[in-house]
Amino acid sequence: MNNVDIRRKARKDYFCVRISVINCFLLKARDGYLLIDTGYPGGYRQFIKGLKKIEIDISEIKYILLTHHHFDHTGLAAQLLKDTGAKLIVHKASIPLLEKGVTKMGRGVNLLIKIVMSAFSFFSVGAYSPVTICEEDYIVDGDDADLLKEIGIDGIILYTPGHTEDSISVLLSDGSAFVGGVAVNFIITPYHIIIDDIDDVHNSWERLIKHGAKTIYPAHGKPFGIERLVACKEKRRV
């Protein structure tokens, strides 16, 4: 598939750049693009290559929204902010962690994940270049119905904690929901392998459903229909 075909196929005003196992999304804003999440530290070349494929120049990125502070979402934030001069959009609770460049992990959903996580923390995985918050940046504290509209995107920001306490999602008026880690598409489950608070996860899903989410675009895995979250919520199982 050539570049023109890719653009034609992605006719919903959004694009996806994959860095390893993370999806970074780009939404068309009034004066350029909003980038949702920035991928792992060390993924810079892969990101630039991905941008080229979809024919977006790095200078067209005008806003960078971080769905939460985990290193696989914030790894390139400091570098990209420097390269682009983009404005940052983050939840208030992310700030102290971003400024230190640290990842605060929740709990693993099962014993195996817990063992893997303790090995990871032994090797200090989770660090990234600290992100400096500037006066012009946008700090979200709860839901925000206006910010995206101000920059030319027909959607809202929802506060969706559960995977982390600082998680936010972008919900477009057509029902597309870019949710970071609050729901994922791993092999059999939309639950993330790391969870801060399971009740918050369910409440966040409920709020996405109530606000009209139709298709979930997770940071990890392929998009899926909202009915999967509805079914899982009803079972209330991890």
- Shortest approach of Zn ion to residue 88 CB, angstroms? 18
Among 33, 70, 88, 128, binds Zn ion (CB under 5 A): 70
| Closest of 127, 124, 116, 69 to residue 93, by C-alpha | 69
- C-alpha R_g of the chain: 17
Residue bearing tokens 């102290």: 96
Among 15, 47, 71, 72, binds Zn ion (CB under 5 A): 72
Yes or no: say if 226 and 185 are a contact pair by the CB < 8 Å rule.
no
Q: Does 162 bind Zn ion (CB under 5 A)?
A: no
| Closest of 34, 166, 36, 170 to residue 95, by C-alpha | 166
- Shortest approach of Zn ion to residue 141 CB, angstroms? 20
CB nearer to Zn ion: give 62 or 178: 178
Among 43, 75, 161, 181, binds Zn ion (CB under 5 A): 181
CB nearer to Zn ion: give 29 or 216: 216
Beta bridge partners of 156: 171
Strand positions, DSSP E, 37-91: 61-65, 87-91
Binding segment for Zn ion among 49-57, 68-76, 126-134, 170-178 (CB under 5 A)? 68-76
Interface with Zn ion (CB under 5 A): 70, 72, 181
